[in-house]
Amino acid sequence: MGPHAEKDMREPTPQEIQLKRLMQVWMILFGIGTLTFFLAGNWLIATGNAFSADILHWDLPPMPPAAHGFWLTLTTSMMATITVISYWVQKDVVQNARLTFFILVSKLTSTLVFLFFFFWDTPYFNYLLGSLFSDGPIYIVTLIFYKRALRSVPST
């Protein structure tokens, strides 16, 4: 056994188990998101447009549908990647919890870029939907669970 064998074989803390459960939820939701972006990306855009106009009655311009698969390819790839990261964290939270950092990078980046485009490009409701109601909350919840899990690890 190596010098870190004791640490490697320890039981997860309650906070790490909570992070594991969160990653199981994210894994399922990100997996559904992967398929939804790939198979129904324009439906998502149209649904956001309709929600803004018909439910909220906001006078914002409707986001046009995607004209090609270039951005769809990148969003599908990103969603598949964070699905796999979530899988690895939940598979062995003691060993892989730090992979959560990559989900945090992804969600913080998308939250900030959505807000950037809303305020400095075109104020599409879908940008707010992505930042304030999806990726932003995912970032905050994941950060809280991740920090709690890291703080719970006994020092050796």
**Whole-structure pTM value:** 0.91
For residues 17 and 94, the answer to whether their CB atoms sit within 8 Å is no
Indicate the domain borders of the chain: 13-152
Residues 62-88: pLDDT tens digits?
Answer: 999 988 888 889 999 999 999 999 999
pLDDT confidence bin for 7, thresholds 50/70/90: low
Chain segment 101-127, per-residue pLDDT in tens: 999 999 999 999 999 999 999 999 999
Which residues, including other chains, have CB under 8 Å from residue 24's CB and lie 6 or more apart? 86, 90
